[in-house]
Amino acid sequence: MTSRRSALATMLCLPVLCLGAPLAADGAKRVFAPGGYALGGVDPVGYFVDGRARMGSEKWKLHWAGALWLFADAASMGTFESNPRRFAPRYGGHCAYAMAHGDVRPVDPAAWAIRDGHLYLTRTPETLAMWQRDPDRYMAMADAVWSRMWR
């Protein structure tokens, strides 16, 4: 049973792996930063602390991973700064469902999920619903694309 799952996962990921290298070459940005701010200025810690997206402020900002991140307050900024990889969204904040299909798409900050301690964003609430039907499969596919994009 496990070998059948592994074979299926491999077959599903192979086409995606082949697409990964050209995506980075086409100028995909590592961190989704519309308007110059990571996540369009949404505080990533808010998803974990408040269970919702909340806008950050110019008053609390820092540079990390080549992008400017805004935070709702000093505590949130300090929390992020102490462990940014824990709070930054997977795939640079690009749509997790699109990434699984070898594509880079912007996100809706209101279309999100936390799974296994990681933040995943998607393009629309409908896309999030599709992603949530089989998140383990989509995460494996997106992980393969993402790792190939940024070698």
Query: What does 17-85 look like in DSSP terms, one character per residue?
Result: HHHHHHHHHTT--SS--GGGBGGGGEETHHHHHTSS-EE-EEEEEEEETTEEEEESSHHHHHHHHH-HH
From first to last of its 151 residues, the chain has per-residue pLDDT tens of: 544 444 334 333 434 333 333 444 344 468 888 888 999 999 999 999 999 999 999 999 999 998 999 999 999 999 999 999 999 999 999 999 999 999 999 999 999 999 999 999 999 999 999 999 999 999 999 999 999 987 6
Q: Could you tell me the two tokens for 56?
A: 């950050």
The answer to whether the beta carbons of residues 122 and 97 sit under 8 Å apart is yes
Question: What is the pLDDT at residue 31?
Answer: 86
Q: What are phi and psi of 100, to 5 degrees?
A: -60, -25
Q: Give dist(CA 2, CA 25) in Å, integer.
A: 35
Question: What is the pLDDT at residue 17?
Answer: 38
Question: What is the pLDDT at residue 38?
Answer: 94
Structural domain boundaries in the chain: 1-27+89-151, 33-87
Q: What are phi and psi of 149, to 5 degrees?
A: -65, -35
Q: Give dist(CA 19, CA 21) in Å, integer.
A: 6
